[in-house]
Every structure is written in structure tokens, then in C-alpha cells.
Amino acid sequence: MADGNNNSPHGAVFDLLSELISRRSLTPDDAGCCDLLESRLAPLGFRFERIDAEGVTNLWATLGSGAPLMILAGHTDVVPTGPLEKWLSDPFTPTVRDGVLYGRGAADMKSGIAAMICAVERVLATGPLRGTLAFLITSDEEGMARHGTRHVVEVLRARGVKPDYAIVGEASSNETLGDRIVVGRRGSLGCNLRVLGKQGHVAYPHKGDNPVHRLMPALAEMVATQWDAGNAHFPPTSFQISNFHSGTGANNVIPGEADVVFNFRYCTESTAESLKARVHAILDRHCPRYEADWWHTGEPFLTEQGELIRAAVASIQDLTGSAPEFFTGGGTSDARFIAPWGAQTVELGPINDSIHKLNEHVKIEDLERLSRLYEGILRRLLG
Ligand SMILES: [Zn+2]
């Protein structure tokens, strides 16, 4: 149903969002959300493919063909509620109080999805679009995020699908709708490191080999290293040790091994490979035997300029009268998988102050306005 035909007091986005909130889609359970989205997109002519994996629901819906390919991306899963008695109303019963809609997923990010769907309905009501318009919806963003967007991107990439633009409907706004868009994120690289020594009696140190003594100068060097200086969009790459374990518990035993977990949040001035190489160079100097098990959970990305940014800024200026702040901080999102695929990527969505919290909410007046923002971008790029 197009917005103009909607007779509900709070509008079409509110109605769809309420239906989505009612589905208890605790990560990674989609709880029927994608079925609902398909029922809205089918009358518009979208084609559907489920790229499900390991119990995760992934929907790839496309309309049209050829370039440009615009992806509207989002997740249907939500984080756990926390103690129910601390909610003012049931988290899965959409509830209005003082112009605000309460419910788990209201801001993160069922409102983004609902606003996107209604924007597409409105745009298509006035005529066809050029290129391809796609929805990439997953139920595994809040959990491990292994079988969700990352998996879909792998499958589509192998087929030669090449996106031009992606809007991720995550809650990007800070104090007012559209005051901030996310144009980049730092990368995340971690390591489980085990330094091997030789267990022995503390009274006979020449018969043992203390891995803590070998590890300490290596870690001191890593902590003191400036990995890069950052740039105009990102702070310098940060290194943090999160865990350090060694010792048998006895006070007279040289331990046989020492375990450390550390993490980099890195900017576009470094790469995962460059950081790994520098860590190994330090370790090689201090520790003859070690095992490094690396995990790389996200590349950094930055969409500094281009048509998508221009279209987003122009749409926001039309609606709010001011240009948004460009932001690269905060936690990760599925943009980390989509941007390296080659798409200009922004995150644009509602105010984020209640996400993952008790009594998550969104201002009702922002719902139709958010939908207008997406509509403005779609008309500028595909109209
Ligand atoms: Zn989210």
C-alpha cells in the first residue's frame, strides 16, 4: 500500500514497523519478518532468492536489471530484551506513549527496513526506476554475523554481481534525524597468541624457559608502537590487550606457556596484512616459539565522496535544512561486508540513543521523514 493510500493515523511506516516489532526475531531468528517483507515487495514486481545458511534467513530481492545496482540493506534480528520487568511495556508489543513507539528493534533496525520498503512503494508508484534496486536482508547481524550479509556477499560476488551503491538502514542519527551519517568504519583484527616456553622449577631457571619473560618486552613494544597517525576521517589505529593468562597457580613453577588476546581497531592507513607483519617482526625478535591465531572480523571502509554521498546530503538538506556530520566511529555493522565489495556505502537511519537498551524506541514523526530521506536518495540516483 502506498503512503498516500494509507489511512492509519501514524502512517504506513509505523504500521509496517509495528508488524515487524511484533515478530520476536531474537538473533538469529527471523521469525517471519522476511515473509512479511516479501509480501510487500511481490506486488511491486521484485524477484526473490533466499540465500539462507546455518539457520540464518537471508533475503535477496531484486527489481529491474543492469547498472546501477543500488542495495538497501538491513537486518531483521534484534538483541535480547534484558530484564522484562524493567521494560515499561512488552518489548514485542509495539506501544505508543507520547508520540514515541516502543519495542525491541524500533530503532535497531526495523524502522530502517520499514522506511525503506515504504520509500520504494512510493517511488515506484510514480514510475519505473533505472538500473537494479535490491534488498539485502539478513537475520544474523546482531549475533556472530558469519552466515548473514557476509555469506550473501560471498555468493553474489562469486556470480559476478557488482553493486554501485548501498544504504544500510542502521540507526546513524545522533540527536535529530539525519544529523549524522556513517561514511566509514574502522577495521577489526584480533589475535589469540600463545608463547611457548619450558616449564621448570623457579630455583633452576637455566633448566626452564619462561614465556612470560619473553612475552613482556614484545608486548611492551607493541603497546608503545604508533601503528599509524590516522587521517582526516579516522583516529590512529589502536592496539589493546584484552586477556593475559599464564602460570600454574603454584608459586615455584616457571610456566610452560603464556596466552594473550589482543585486538586492533584499525583505520584506512593500515591493513590487516601490514599490522600482522609488524606484530610478527616484533614477536620474532623476542619469542623463539609462538602460535598466533588471527581473526579478522572487518575491513575498514570509507566512502568519502561520490554520487551516493551527494544524494544523501542533498536529501537530508531538503528535509532538515542542514548538512549531516560524516561519522566513522561506533561499533561495526554489515556495511563492513558490503563496502569492500565495491559499493559506495552509507549508513543512514533513526536516532541511535536507545539501541540495544531497555525501552528501545523511535519517534513516530521520524518514521515518515526517514522514509522521505530514502525516497530522495532513490529518486536522485535511480529516477
Ligand atoms: Zn543494527
Same domain? 207 vs 137: no
Same domain? 324 vs 243: no
Please give the distance, rounded to the nearest whole angstrom, from the Cα atom of residue 278 to the centre of ligand 1. Answer: 33
Burial class (CB in 10 A: 0-12, 13-18, 19+), 232: exposed
Average pLDDT over residues 48-52: 98
Return the ∠ at Cα 263 (arms to 215 and 257), rounded to 5°. Answer: 30
Same domain? 213 vs 362: no
* Total number of domains constituting the chain: 2
Please give the distance, rounded to the nearest whole angstrom, from the Cα atom of residue 142 to the centre of ligand 1. Answer: 7
pLDDT band at 6 (very low <50, low <70, confident <90, very high): low
The closest alpha carbon to 333, from 230, 182, 191, belongs to 182
Domain assignment of residue 211, given as a range? 187-298
Please give the distance, rounded to the nearest whole angstrom, from the Cα atom of residue 56 to the centre of ligand 1. Answer: 16
> What's the rounded Cα separation, in Å, for the pair 91 and 75?
18
> What's the rounded Cα separation, in Å, for the pair 215 and 297?
25
Please give the distance, rounded to the nearest whole angstrom, from the Cα atom of residue 195 to the centre of ligand 1. Answer: 37
**Over the chain, what is the mean pLDDT?**
95
pLDDT band at 352 (very low <50, low <70, confident <90, very high): very high
Tens digits of residue pLDDT in 232-275? 989 999 999 999 999 999 999 999 999 999 999 999 999 999 99
> What's the rounded Cα separation, in Å, for the pair 267 and 231?
8
Tens digits of residue pLDDT in 132-174? 999 999 999 998 889 999 999 999 999 999 999 999 999 999 9
Please give the distance, rounded to the nearest whole angstrom, from the Cα atom of residue 107 to the centre of ligand 1. Answer: 8
Give me the long-range contacts of 197-204 (CB less than 8 A, separation at least 24).
197/254, 197/255, 197/256, 197/257, 197/258, 197/289, 198/254, 198/256, 199/248, 199/253, 199/254, 199/255, 199/256, 200/253, 200/254, 201/252, 201/253, 201/254, 202/251, 202/252, 202/253, 202/254, 203/252
Query: Which of 255, 271, 298 is the last residue in one of the domains?
Result: 298
Per the listing, cell 536489471 goes with 65
Same domain? 159 vs 229: no
Query: Which of 251, 271, 298 is the last residue in one of the domains?
Result: 298
What is the DSSP code string of 89-145? S-TTS-EEETTEEESTTTTTTHHHHHHHHHHHHHHHHT---SSEEEEEEES-SSS--
Please give the distance, rounded to the nearest whole angstrom, from the Cα atom of residue 367 to the centre of ligand 1. Answer: 16
pLDDT band at 7 (very low <50, low <70, confident <90, very high): low
Residue 1 predicted with pLDDT over 50: no
Same domain? 7 vs 113: yes
The residue type at 290: Y
Please give the distance, rounded to the nearest whole angstrom, from the Cα atom of residue 230 to the centre of ligand 1. Answer: 26
Same domain? 156 vs 9: yes
Q: Are 291 and 193 in contact (CB under 8 A)?
A: yes
- CATH code of the domain covering residue 55: 3.40.630.10
Please give the distance, rounded to the nearest whole angstrom, from the Cα atom of residue 141 to the centre of ligand 1. Answer: 7
Same domain? 243 vs 343: no
Tens digits of residue pLDDT in 319-350? 999 999 999 987 779 999 999 999 999 999 99
Would you state the pLDDT for residue 3?
Answer: 43
Tens digits of residue pLDDT in 206-232? 999 999 999 999 999 999 999 999 999
Q: Are 227 and 259 in contact (CB under 8 A)?
A: no
pLDDT band at 4 (very low <50, low <70, confident <90, very high): very low
Please give the distance, rounded to the nearest whole angstrom, from the Cα atom of residue 281 to the centre of ligand 1. Answer: 37
- CATH code of the domain covering residue 217: 3.30.70.360
Q: Which residues are catalytic?
A: 77, 141
Query: Which of 251, 270, 298 is the last residue in one of the domains?
Result: 298
pTM of the full structure: 0.85
Please give the distance, rounded to the nearest whole angstrom, from the Cα atom of residue 109 to the centre of ligand 1. Answer: 5
Same domain? 167 vs 55: yes
Tens digits of residue pLDDT in 104-134? 999 999 999 999 999 999 999 999 999 999 9
Residue 284 predicted with pLDDT over 70: yes
Average pLDDT over residues 6-30: 94
